[in-house]
A = this chain, B = another copy of it.
Amino acid sequence: MTENERKRRVRRLPREVRERQITDAAVEVFSRHGFHNASMDEVAEVAGVSKPMVYAYLGSKEELFAACIQREAQRLLQAIAEGVRGDVEPDMQLWTGLRSFFHFVGQNRSSWTVLHRQALSVGGEFAEEISQMRARSIELVAALVVASGTRKGVGAQAEKSGEALAAALVGAAESLADWWLDHPDISDDVLASWLMNLVWLGFGDLVEGEAWSPKDLTPPA
C-alpha cells in the first residue's frame, strides 16, 4: 500500500506545483473539518506530501488558512465581476450577479464552505478579511439599490436602510447557497431566479401571480 503509493506518486515536482496542490488540499480539509479540527497532518496527507513540506512552502497553520481564504475570496469575487453586466438596468445587474454567485458556489462547494462557514468563526485576521469582502459586496448591492431611485416609505434613514437591505440580500443569497447544499438537484439559474423574484417583487407580488424574468441580453453571456 505505502509501497504502491510511493511508486505511483509523481515525485520531485517544482515548488509552484506543490504549493497549488497543498493549497487545494487545505481548502478541502478546512472545508470538511473547520480550521481548528483540521490537522496539518491531514492536509499533508491529502496533498500527498509530508508535513514539513507544508511548513516549508506555506508557513504556519494560520498562514496556510489565510492563503486559502485569500485565494478563494479572490476567485469568488472575480467570478462575479466577470459575470455581472455593468451596462444594463439595475435589475439585470442584480440578476447577472446572483447568477454568477450561485454558479461559482455550485462549482466550488469547498471554497464556499471555507469562506462562509469557517472563516468567520476563527476570528481575528480572517474574520476581518472576510468581513471586508462581504462589506464590498454589500456596498455594490447597496449602490444598485440606491441607484434604482429614492426609496420612500422607509423613513428618513434612506442611506442606512439601503445598506441594511443590501446586507439582508447578501445574507439571503448566502443562506440560499447553504440550503442548496442540501438540495443539489436544482440548477443555479433556477435558484438565482427564485431569489431574484423574492427581492425584486417580494412575497406580496408573488402571491398575486406576478413574476420577474430576465430580458434577453444582446449577446447572451
Contacts and interface: CB of A to CB of B under 8 A. Distances in A.
Interface of A: 33-37, 91, 117-118, 120-123, 138, 145, 148-155, 157, 160-161, 163-165, 167-176, 178-179, 183, 186, 190-191, 193-195, 197-212
Nearest to A120: B117
A132 to B, nearest CB: 12
A151 B202 contact: no
B202 A200 contact: yes
Count identical subunits in the complex.
2
Contact of A202 (B36, B160, B186, B204): B204
Contacts of A206: 151, 153-154, 165
Contacts of A212: 153, 204
A56 to B, nearest CB: 26
Contacts of A169: 172, 198
Given A138-B179, A200-B203, 15 more contacts: A33-B123, A36-B36, A37-B123, A153-B206, A153-B209, A153-B210, A154-B211, A165-B206, A167-B176, A168-B179, A168-B194, A171-B173, A171-B179, A172-B172, A205-B205
A175 B179 contact: no
A163 to B, nearest CB: 8
B190 A155 contact: yes
A209 B154 CA distance: 9
Contacts of A198: 165, 168-169, 199, 202
Contacts of A164: 176, 179, 183, 186, 191, 194
B34 A122 contact: yes
Nearest to A186: B160
A97 to B, nearest CB: 13
A154 B205 CA distance: 12
B152 A211 contact: yes
A37 to B, nearest CB: 7
